[in-house]
Structure 1
C-alpha cells in the first residue's frame, strides 16, 4: 500500500510539528507544578498564562474567561450541568437541538432525570435551526440555550449571531459547542453574544486531552471539579501544562492560517462534492451546500452500506468515516441524518470526508476514482440495487 490519504480530520487532526516542539520542554525541562512558588514552577505558570492569552485572542475574549478542561466533552458537560444547578432558582428549562453531539444530548438526558425540562428542536433538511421555532420554544423557565456552532457530521453552520441575540433579549444564557468551528471559521464571542463556548485542541492540530470552556464574566457557573484552587477555583487539578502550551500554539497557528487554509479547503471540498454528485448516480449531499464548514463533505450513496464502503476505502489507504467518531461501532444510523429527514436505508449509506491543509487535488482525484469503483462494486452485489434497475428497465419498456 502507498501513502495513507487521511480524510477524517473532524475526528482528529495530526499534531502540528511546531505544536509538538513547543510542548516538549514542558515534559522534561520546565516540568514544575504551576501552583508551586519556585522558578521552574513559575515557568509553567507563565506558559499557561501565555496560552490562555493566545486562545482568548482568537475569540476576542478576555483571557480570564478561558478555563482549561480535558476536552470538548468535559466542557459541554460543565456548561450544561453547572448552568442547570446555578440557575435552578430561575427555572429548569433548556433548549437544544436533535443534531447535537452526544456530549450534549447525553448530558441533557442525565439532567432530565434530575428534573430538567429539555426541548430538542427540529432542524430543516440542511440541518439548520429555524429561528421562529427556537423563539416559540422559549418559556419563562428557560435558563439555557445550547446549540452547536457547526455540526460535526454534516458541517452545517448555525445562525449563531441570531441565536445569541435572541437569548440576550430574553435574558437566557447561550452556550455553543464550537469544537468543530473553532479555528475553522472566525468567532468573536462579543459580536455573536456567546456566553459559554466549548472547544478541543485536537481538532485544530493540537494535542489530545486538552480543551477549554469560555465563560463570560458575570455568568454564574459553579465549580465542576472540586479540590485545589486551579483555574480560579472552578476546575481543580494540576494543569496539563504541555497540553495547554500546545493548545495555545495550535490556536495561534489556526488563526494565522485560517483565511488561506480554509479557502483552499473549501475550493477542494466543492470540487469533490461536484464530481461525486455528477459522476456517481443515486447520491445526495447532506448539510447546507453553502453554510457549511470549509473542509466538510457528507454524501449518502443509495443501495450500499456505509460500513462496507469505509472498509474498502481503508484497504485502498483512505481513512474516512460515516459520522461522529464517538459513535463508531454503533449499528444505528446517524441521529443527525435521521433528524434532517433521511430514511434509515439512505442514512446507512453515508460517507463523511473531512479535509486538511495537506489534502491535495491529486489526493482528491484518487479518492473520487476509488469511491466510484467501490460504490459500483458494492451495488453490483446489492439486491436492492438490482431490483431498482429491473424496475427502471421495466418502466422504460426494455
Structure 2
C-alpha cells in the first residue's frame, strides 16, 4: 500500500543528521552536567554549546546586559505552561491579576490561562478575524499596566496563519507588559527574529523540526521575571529543575541549524506544493473551503473544510488508504470537542465537523498530493447534493 505522510505539523520524523549528532554526543560523555568532576564538566560543555547555538539561530542576544536566557524543557507544552504561569506569577507575586491570550492559541497556552481564571484571575481572550488572524485593534484597547502577561502565537498550528507579532509587541512594550509568543509552528517555516520581534519570551519544540521528541525550550529576554512551576533541584537557575540531557539539546540545536540553512529553498518548494494542492482540491471538490486562505500563511499548512462530511470518517478512510493527516492539533486528537481554532474564526459546526489539516515536508511530492486528492474526491463524491438538500 502507498504511504503518504502529510502530518508534519504534528511531528517531523527525526533527521538522520540529528541522530548522528546525538549519537556522537552520547559517545563523548555520560556524565551528569550538574556534576563538578571531569565527565560532568564535559557534559556541561556540550549542553552550553547547544544553548548558545540555539540562541544565536533564533536571533537572540548572546552577550551584554540584554543577554537572553534559554530554559530547556520537555517540549513545547511545558515551555508554554512555564511562560504563561511563570511570567504571570512573577509579575504579581502570586496574587490574582490579569492575563490576555488569543482565541487561536494552542491548548498548552489556553489551558494554563484558564487555570489562572480558576485561581481568581481575570482572563481576556483576543478575538480572531474570519481570515484566521487576531484582531490587533483589540489588544490596543485592552492591554494595560495591570496586565501580567500577554501570549499570542507566531503561527497558528491548524491554519498556518502568520500572526502580527510585532504589532502586539509594540503595544505591550508601551505598557511595560511581558509578551510571550509560541513559535513552535514558526520554526523552520519563517525566520525566527527574537530580538527584532520585541517579545519577552518565545517557545520552541525540537520534534517539529526533525529533532528529537522530549525537548523544547523557552527563550527569555534579559532579566524578564519568571517563577518556576516545578520544584526540586537548582538546574537552570532553579527555573526548571531536573537533570538536563546534553544529547537531546545537541539534537535540537542540529535540527534548528539545518532548518535555518534550508529555510529559503524549503519555503519556496513547499509553497509551490501548497498552491498546487489547493488548486487540485478546488477542481476535484468545488465546494471545499480553505481556512485562512486570504491571510499570510506558512508554506506548508492547508486546513480544509468539506461541508456535510464527517472528518472522523474521512480521517479513517485516508488512513486506510495510507495517507496520514490530522483532524486538528495532535494534542487534542483524543477530544470529541470541535476545534476551538476553527470556531474562533467563525466556521460553523458543520464546517468544523468536516475539516482536516494537511501539512507537508521535505519528502512530499506532487504525486503524493495527486493521490490524496483522488482518494478524498472519491470519499466525498456524494456529499454535494446532500449538503445542498440540508441547506434548503
Residue of structure 2 equivalent to 1:232: 237
* 1:21 match: 20
Q: CA deviation at 1:231?
A: 1.3
Residue 194 of structure 2 aligns to a residue in which SS? coil
Counterpart position of 1:36: 35
Residue 178 of structure 2 corresponds to 173
Identify the residue that residue 65 of structure 2 maps to in structure 1.
none
Asked whether the 8 Å contact 1:165–1:192 carries over to 2, the reply is no
Q: TM-score, normalised by structure 1?
A: 0.93
Query: Separation in 2 of the partners of 1:220 and 1:386?
Result: 55
Match of 1:267 in 2: 272
Select which of 144, 149, 153 maps to 1:144.
149
Q: Is the 8 A contact 2:230 2:240 kept in 1?
A: yes
The answer on whether the counterparts of 1:164 and 1:193 sit within 8 Å (CA) in structure 2 is: yes
Q: Secondary structure at the match of 1:136?
A: helix
Assess, with a 3 A threshold, how the Cα gap between structure 1 residues 386 and 60 changes in structure 2: closer, same or farther. closer
Q: Report if the CA contact (8 A) 2:21-2:251 is conserved.
A: yes
Match of 1:385 in 2: 387
TM-score (norm: length of structure 2): 0.94
Shift of 1:370: 1.5
1:39-118 paired onto structure 2 within 5 Å: 39-63=38-62, 65-88=69-92, 92-118=97-123
Contact (CA 8 Å) 1:54, 1:249: kept in 2 or not? no
Please tell me whether the aligned partners of residues 50 and 248 of structure 1 are also in contact (alpha carbons under 8 angstroms): no
The answer to whether the 8 A contact 2:202-2:220 is kept is yes
Cα distance in 2, alignment partners of residues 145 and 375 from structure 1: 41
Cα distance in 1 for partners of 2:198, 2:388 equals: 53
Gaps of 5+ in 1: 392-398
Shift of residue 388, structure 1, vs aligned partner: 4.9
Question: Equivalences for 1:166-205 in 2 at 5 Å?
Answer: 166-205=171-210
Q: Output the CA distance in 1 between the equivalents of 2:198 and 2:268.
A: 26
Aligned CA-pair RMSD: 1.8
Aligned length: 386
Shift of 1:268: 0.4
8 Å CA contact retained: 2:98, 2:146: yes
Contact 1:207/1:243 (<8 A) preserved: yes
Deviates more, 1:125-134 or 1:38-47: 38-47
Unaligned runs of 5+ in 2: 63-67
Matched residue, 2:223? 218
Q: Is the 8 A contact 1:12 1:202 kept in 2?
A: yes
Does residue 1:283 correspond to 2:297, yes or no?
no
Q: What displacement does 1:288 show?
A: 4.2
Give, in angstroms, the shift of residue 163 of structure 1. Answer: 0.9
Q: 2: CA distance between counterparts of 1:235 and 1:387?
A: 56
3-state SS, counterpart of residue 190 of structure 1? helix
